Structure 1
């Protein structure tokens, strides 16, 4: 193969990478905590996004620190959401960042509710459990993007039941609060009965 042909192929590859957004990788796992199932989900969903006109992207990064998680590429990117995981020892800190064009879909409340919905799993020191929680966060972000661009929801998106955990986080805690209220009312009732019983005097 001639040098001219090689140069031509290299030029085509470079143009392809720029046009398709491959210049920003989907996965940067510095902390080495992402398992195969999580990686496959990230790559599969982003592969679908490359086929759209808007070509949004979800980047998942892990770093070996718990603070200063804002991605350097945030202000230089478009139509991108970054899920950043800070890792130090057994501690994990998961944050969601979106580019300016997606701020409307990813308000502070939305980002907080997504993370809060799987908080227990995201705090787990068990890697499989943590990855399960991280996949939920990724799928939640993907669902928001699909809704924002009016894409048809697919198998990678959250179900209606899962979406309700984010839309109405207080509903998850409501049954527990009601149960506690019933227990307290029962104890108060028993306490009053005991005090009013003449046999106990």
Structure 2
């Protein structure tokens, strides 16, 4: 009987491991996530369960704006947390990673991901916000896939989307150059007009 119990316990442990009985990938305490976002989270994490490393990207929503650090962060491995804090209409999105992923998720990398679709993440419209959140999730998934050298799939960012993160100021550069040329043109015209006026006085 004792041997049978040990055997059943071992079989249950193997089953739990094989079926991905691990930390849940979705904790929607603030009831923000829509069906499309939840489907993306589940399907991508199910793919990760088929890999040797079995990384995770967990999305958590909470009813507060501050102190969003997940309680399980320090004891987690190969895990990225996307935490959404909500209070009233205000929302705060932050990205955390376990220590073994700090190289991929530096402060700059996390900041660039959140800035890439900042207008959507600031939207009060839940569908628009979820669209921005899916971008953040896909950006994190792309980082994880690159870290472990997985083949990119349909859930990852396209090259043009990756460029938005790699070069967040690229869009602002043409505007800055145009303004610089405009200012130079105005200065040139003012100087020319002033020089012409002085010649007329003579």
Does TM-score exceed 0.5, indicating one fold?
A: yes
Q: Does 1:157 align with 2:162?
A: no
Shift of 1:184: 2.8
Shift of 1:14: 5.2
Map 1:1-201 to 2 at 5 A: 12-13=11-12, 15-18=14-17, 21-192=20-191, 195=194, 198=197
Q: Distance in 1 between matches of 2:191 and 2:87?
A: 52
Quote the RMSD (CA, aligned, Å): 2.5
CA distance in 1, matches of 2:20, 2:74: 15
Report the CA distance between 1:21 and its aligned residue: 4.5
C-alpha displacement at 1:23, in angstroms? 2.8
Q: Which blocks of at least 5 consecutive residues in structure 2 are unaligned? A: none
Question: How far did residue 129 of structure 1 move?
Answer: 1.1
C-alpha spacing 1:178/1:19, structure 2 compared with 1 (3 Å): same
Q: Which whole-Å CA distance do the structure 2 matches of 1:22 and 1:172 have between them?
A: 43
TM-fit CA distance, 1:101: 0.8
Report the TM-score when normalising by structure 1. Answer: 0.87
The aligned length equals: 195
In the superposition, the TM-score normalised over structure 2's length comes to: 0.86
How much has 1:20 moved relative to structure 2? 5.1
Q: Higher mean Cα deviation, 171-180 or 68-77?
A: 171-180
The change in CA–CA distance for 1:185 and 1:54 in structure 2 (over 3 A counts) is same
Q: 1:184 to 1:16 in 2, by over 3 A?
A: farther
Greater C-alpha radius of gyration: 2
